[in-house]
Amino acid sequence: MKRNNKGSYSVEPEMHHEPFDFTHDITWRIFRIMSEFTEGIELVSGLKRPVTFFGSARFGPKSRYYQEAYKLAKILGRAGFSIVTGGGPGIMEAANRGAVDTKAPSVGLNIQLPAEQRTNKFVKKSSGFYYFFSRKAMLSTSAQAYVFFPGGFGTLDELFSILTLIQTKKIEPRPVVLYGKDFWRKLNFFIKENMVRRHRMIEPRDLRLYTIVDSVNLAARIIKRSKRRVYTFM
């Protein structure tokens, strides 16, 4: 409000010196989240017998785990499963590559990161996500089984989220296969000794929510025995 020469006051329009940043508007964020869920659900809901692979993006084609993820995906692809990954390199690329080589559906659900994660060339159907939580829901919601190869924080985050969903009956029980005894045995020891025996944070029966394997054929047998699922959202 400004006083003029006649002694009266006039209201001046508020001046905006910076352009409006719509990316920080709460309404825009809500619509973006909705669109990610809508697009993701449309993609995964049509998949036949999906199996989600998790694991580090840092494994190269010559590593043991890359090669065994590739072999497992090929076996499952031939058996009529769809292969779903986070869409990036490493274990994700290996699984998508195995799917492509058996002409099975090869799906990648990628995430936008500051150091951008490229979508591997073996992804044939894809969706990109800005929010980790919407991507996580799509990776976990419709899978008939899950395979966890060695990985970092992201892999462990996905693992404990899925175990919690099964433990609390938010989703039906389904195979959670931890591949690589050398990597997973110390985590398993921590869970048994600290969470079950010493502190009783979880029940002994919760140890049956996952299975640690060191064989492609054993992992394939466990997954092949899993129950076919009609798509449902959590």
Question: Region 212-234: what's the mean pLDDT?
Answer: 86
Q: What is the pLDDT of residue 32?
A: 84
Give the mean pLDDT of the chain.
87
Beta carbons of 48 and 80 less than 8 angstroms apart = yes
Q: What is the pLDDT of residue 36?
A: 83
Question: Region 212-231: what's the mean pLDDT?
Answer: 91
Helices (H), the chain: 26-44, 64-78, 91-101, 132-141, 153-167, 181-190, 216-224
Q: What is the pLDDT of residue 8?
A: 52
Q: Retrieve residue 38's tokens.
A: 């809508």
pLDDT of 168 strictly over 90: yes
Over residues 3-39, the pLDDT tens digits come to 555 555 454 444 445 555 556 678 888 888 888 888 8
Q: What is the pLDDT of residue 3?
A: 54
Helices (runs of H) and strands (runs of E) counted in the chain:
7, 9
For the ranges 15-24, 42-51, 148-157, the one whose mean pLDDT is highest: 148-157
Over residues 47-103, the pLDDT tens digits come to 999 999 999 999 999 999 999 999 999 999 999 999 999 999 999 999 999 999 999
Query: How many residues does this entry show for the chain?
Result: 234
Q: Please, what's the largest Cα pairwise distance for the chain?
A: 91
Instruction: Name residue 171's amino acid.
Output: I
Q: What is the pLDDT of residue 16?
A: 45
What DSSP state is assigned to residue 15? P
Name the β-bridge partners of 108. 85, 126
Continuous segment of H or E residues that includes residue 12: none
Question: Region 195-212: what's the mean pLDDT?
Answer: 97
Over residues 170-185, the pLDDT tens digits come to 999 999 999 999 999 9
Strand, coil or helix: 176: strand
Continuous segment of H or E residues that includes residue 128: strand 125-129
Domain 23-224 has CATH 3.40.50.450: yes
Residue 43 confidence class, pLDDT cut points 50, 70, 90? confident
Beta carbons of 123 and 93 less than 8 angstroms apart = no
User: From CA 129, how far away is CA 32, in angstroms rounded?
Assistant: 10
